[in-house]
């Protein structure tokens, strides 16, 4: 008997994540708060770390489609939900922060993102997808870190200097720059820009095409195509989180 997680077991486990699997085997992952656009909270942060593990360990997921509810992917944060005052508080954040991105990258089937609107809070999560389709209303910004006096060390420092290149990436993180959908396309952050109503259907089409491929071709393509960013995260994520914590405790 298999001990791998099944969707029936984990689909109702998460308050901020809706999980639906299509007949094609594509698992659709919708981030939300009360059915509307996700508000980033400590709970959402922790839920994603565990949910990505469940998704990665379920062999029935032939591909993954990541999207958001409402008009924004994630444009708000509830800073009050986070405890940031002690070393013990940061130990928890560092543990879950490492798991969040590591477990996302440990999903061994291709991931397609359907970015449905502004991604101002932790936009590194959807742009780590293998294929990124964005609404023409999308704007990217690393809102909660350096603009708020916080070190962008929880993966933003790795992802954005990788995706944008070191010079553009550092500028993006240190100035609070907003990058709209067309700029993102020109910089290689996203693959397609469409009117908002077309984004999810297009992402579903792409994910279904991937899901139809042979199992090992899907899984091993994800492994080889993500090896470099996984190496960078492995080398730099702990360093970044430690410095983010130290600077925050000094405030």
Give catalytic residues, as residue numbers: 124
Task: Take residue 164 and report the two structure tokens written for it.
Answer: 């944008």
Which residues, including other chains, have CB under 8 Å from residue 154's CB and lie 6 or more apart?
93, 97, 101, 145, 237, 240, 241, 244
| E-assigned strand segments in 187-228 | 192-194
Strand, coil or helix: 153? coil
Task: Take residue 231 and report the two structure tokens written for it.
Answer: 């190496």
- Dihedral angle of Cα 193, 163, 69, 97, to the nearest 10 degrees: 180
Cβ–Cβ < 8 Å for 220, 173: no
């Amino acid at each position: 008997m298999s001990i791998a997680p099944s969707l029936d077991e984990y689909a109702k486990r998460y308050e901020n994540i809706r999980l639906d699997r299509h007949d094609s085997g594509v698992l659709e992952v919708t981030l939300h708060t009360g059915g509307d656009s996700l508000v980033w909270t400590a709970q959402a942060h922790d839920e994603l770390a565990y949910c990505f593990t469940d998704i990665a360990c379920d062999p029935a997921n032939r591909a993954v489609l990541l999207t958001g509810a409402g008009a924004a992917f994630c444009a708000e944060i509830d800073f009050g939900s986070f405890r940031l005052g002690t070393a013990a508080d940061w130990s928890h954040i560092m543990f879950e922060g490492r798991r969040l991105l590591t477990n996302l990258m440990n999903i061994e089937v291709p991931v397609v993102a359907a970015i449905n609107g502004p991604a101002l809070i932790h936009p590194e999560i959807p742009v780590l997808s293998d294929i990124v389709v964005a609404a023409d209303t999308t704007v990217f910004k690393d809102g909660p870190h350096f603009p708020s006096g916080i070190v962008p060390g929880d993966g933003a420092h790795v992802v954005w200097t990788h995706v944008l290149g070191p010079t553009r990436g550092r500028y993006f993180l240190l100035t609070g720059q907003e990058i709209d959908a067309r700029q993102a396309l020109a910089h290689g952050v996203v693959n397609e820009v469409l009117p908002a109503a077309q984004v999810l259907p297009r992402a579903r089409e792409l994910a279904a095409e991937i899901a139809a491929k042979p199992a090992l071709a899907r899984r091993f393509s994800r492994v080889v195509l993500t090896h470099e960013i996984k190496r960078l995260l492995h080398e730099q994520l702990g360093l970044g989180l430690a410095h983010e914590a130290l600077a925050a405790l000094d405030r």
